[in-house]
Chains A and B, each alone.
Chain A
């Protein structure tokens, strides 16, 4: 049975320094990298989609290391990232990201908590609340700061950022939290007493790994293809037609084919794994 000793989440000490530095580093790195990559922001009706994985960092660190670490990772990370990217400070937005880290930290924690699926799902719920408050509060504060009325910050910052924060937080934060648990269990600085799994999963481990690898590779190739997407070049080959992208010659064709192949394998494996999980062999 898991040892569920709730510790005070509002205390920080020496043991918080490493997670804080790690969180800040990951946040700033991801924020700067993805801003430079300048991946498109897609809006379908009112819902804004964008890949901003940095948003998940304060959420997952807050959930794992407490509200103070979560807040500092979000606040400090956004503060420094803005300084690097835009050469200025816009205090409301670091505050919002800080809130995103603080809110998941309000939940109780025990070592190994985020090895359990149900608890990872709860991170997603916290991420939703964090996204809501973490975008609403700075938007409302910016009404006073920018004096552009109520509707502009709500329509053009609060709502799009909410969807982006919610999607990235709900999806990526559990993965990060699980990664942090894994890291924690492997760290020599702290004793690893990971809780045993509470339920038996009927997933083929090798299959899951392989499918995940295929998805990741496919996604990586997709991003790579976007980076290679050179304006002014034209790929006069039918291979590019399904996506209609303009990419640079042979590299583009190879990347495009790779995306499809690995995506296809990943989907097939996933379908097989889900079927096997639902109808396990006796």
Chain B
């Protein structure tokens, strides 16, 4: 007894300790946990659901977070999408713009991978409308206005005016959709290609085909007004490897999966990458950040602007891996060796990986901008590691990148608030969202779907898309079975079409029932909860 009674302070410490425990262990209110993926045995065979692509509830929740922001405003509005600092748009450089196109494009790439993880979930209200919305925002005036507005590094001229004056092209291309400006055109084309790949909807086919044709011309036809090299410049006489990986992937997707008559746009990309490896690499065999194309056209073909850049490597290798895996696999180890540091901060972060923007950076740098650029490099680095399937590096970067930002559920939305960098919250979550998807990478979009894909059974309607999360939705062609796992916060219905002859098996013996209506099979979830189904045909 005397042990405690002597010290009030001890008592205070005890109360504080309890408070510390509660603050530490407390988690904000969450949704249901991600369902398990068990084995389901039918009369025919046993299905191990862990072998089928799946989404966690956190990934779905992050997607809902993006949707809520995208649909919460008009097409030409970008509140909480456009990066900002101190209430003003965060500019990419003096006189530059905020790079909304990049935010939309990289969001689309991450979202497309998520959508392809559950290819049997085709309620247009959930996936297709969102992709369409992102594309519409990509085409919105505010996204494209930088071309005729920005005066970055071009003596007060806009990009548009510079192109007109420098290349002598006819005026009128105020949005930069015909000449140079690969920093917009490449992303736009790839986004349209992904949209058509995912939804078999030709809505953007005309502009996609037109844009790819223009880009192909600009890369291969030496009489094209802005032809300088086998690549397309952007700023507008700087040629960047990373920016040119985007239309290269779009070419590959179009040639392999979308065209109705044979095309070989990709040949331009193959020629370009040979050029880049020959002319745009440094002593490590890795890419330099960018070259001024006038060096080539003015008779200095050996000149390379040796601008060292980790983000260039991360971005470039991530996308090259999708259309030329062997080159990406040669570059990636060199990239890791030159730019990535793996270390351990025992006790707090544990194992971590850190990417330098400049591999020759002063190791004891006290320049905050070196650190800021390296943060950007890590954003691309984590995506690159994910695309390359290097989960050790990916997790090592995510480990510290997410350290300060405790994620939270807000209704059906899941995200990491970033109070320190409020204006970068959308971008930050977008990076984490993309990096965490393991089942699909960009290269999967270059594989043509089977001819029967669009007539297979699929989910055509979910009665409550906000509260019924579809974690698995895949048609197993070899076993003629549809794999469905969902996490329902509320009761509701899931309707499959082309599914009239289906027999439903589930891990859960109660809480659901089925109804057949012609070729539609409706699974009625009578209670909230997690469900696993196999529907055999």
Which A residues form the contact surface with B (CB < 8 A)? 31, 35, 39-46, 48-52, 78, 81-82, 85-86, 88, 90, 93, 115-118, 120-121, 124, 142-144, 146-153, 156-157, 160-161, 164, 167-168, 170-172, 174-175, 178, 182, 197, 201, 203, 205-206, 208-209, 212, 215-216, 218-219, 222-223, 226, 230-234, 236, 241, 243-246, 266, 270, 273, 277
Segment of B3-11, B236-244, B268-276, B453-461 in the binding face:
B3-11
Residues from chain A with Cβ under 8 Å of B343 in the complex: 146, 148
Segment of B88-96, B101-109, B357-365 in the binding face:
B357-365
Q: Any chain A CB within 8 A of the CB of B15? A: yes
Main secondary structure of the interface of B (DSSP, over half): mixed
12 contacting pairs across A/B (C-beta < 8 A) = A46-B420, A117-B8, A120-B7, A147-B341, A148-B354, A149-B371, A152-B374, A164-B348, A171-B16, A201-B7, A208-B11, A232-B530
Which B residues form the contact surface with A (CB < 8 A)? 1-11, 13-18, 20-30, 32-36, 341, 343-352, 354, 356, 361-368, 370-371, 374, 400, 403-406, 409, 419-420, 527-530
Pair A39/B24 contact, Cβ less than 8 Å:
yes
Tell me the complex Cα distance, A28–B21, Å: 20
Pair B346/A49 contact, Cβ less than 8 Å:
no
Residues from chain B with Cβ under 8 Å of A182 in the complex: 3
New A-B pairs, 8, CB < 8 Å, besides A93-B347, A149-B365, A246-B33: A90-B345, A120-B7, A120-B10, A171-B17, A174-B9, A178-B7, A203-B8, A234-B32
Tell me the complex Cα distance, A208–B9, Å: 12
Residues from chain B with Cβ under 8 Å of A167 in the complex: 20
Contact status of A40 and B25, CB under 8 A, knowing A31-B347, A93-B346: yes
Residues from chain B with Cβ under 8 Å of A143 in the complex: 364
Pair A243/B35 contact, Cβ less than 8 Å:
no
Tell me the complex Cα distance, A164–B406, Å: 16
Pair A150/B365 contact, Cβ less than 8 Å:
yes
Tell me the complex Cα distance, A279–B50, Å: 63
Nearest to B409 among chain A residues (CB) is A244
Pair B346/A205 contact, Cβ less than 8 Å:
no
Pair B34/A232 contact, Cβ less than 8 Å:
yes
Tell me the complex Cα distance, A175–B405, Å: 31
Residues from chain B with Cβ under 8 Å of A40 in the complex: 24-25, 27, 406
Tell me the complex Cα distance, A40–B21, Å: 10
Tell me the complex Cα distance, A209–B4, Å: 8
Tell me the complex Cα distance, A118–B6, Å: 11
Residues from chain B with Cβ under 8 Å of A78 in the complex: 346-347
Contact status of A156 and B365, CB under 8 A, knowing A164-B348, A232-B35, A236-B529: no
Residues from chain A with Cβ under 8 Å of B28 in the complex: 244
Pair A171/B7 contact, Cβ less than 8 Å:
no
6 interchain residue pairs of minimum CB distance:
A244-B29, A147-B363, A232-B36, A117-B9, A151-B371, A149-B365
Contact of B368 among A48, A151, A277 (CB under 8 A): A151
Contact status of A42 and B371, CB under 8 A, knowing A90-B344, A164-B348: no
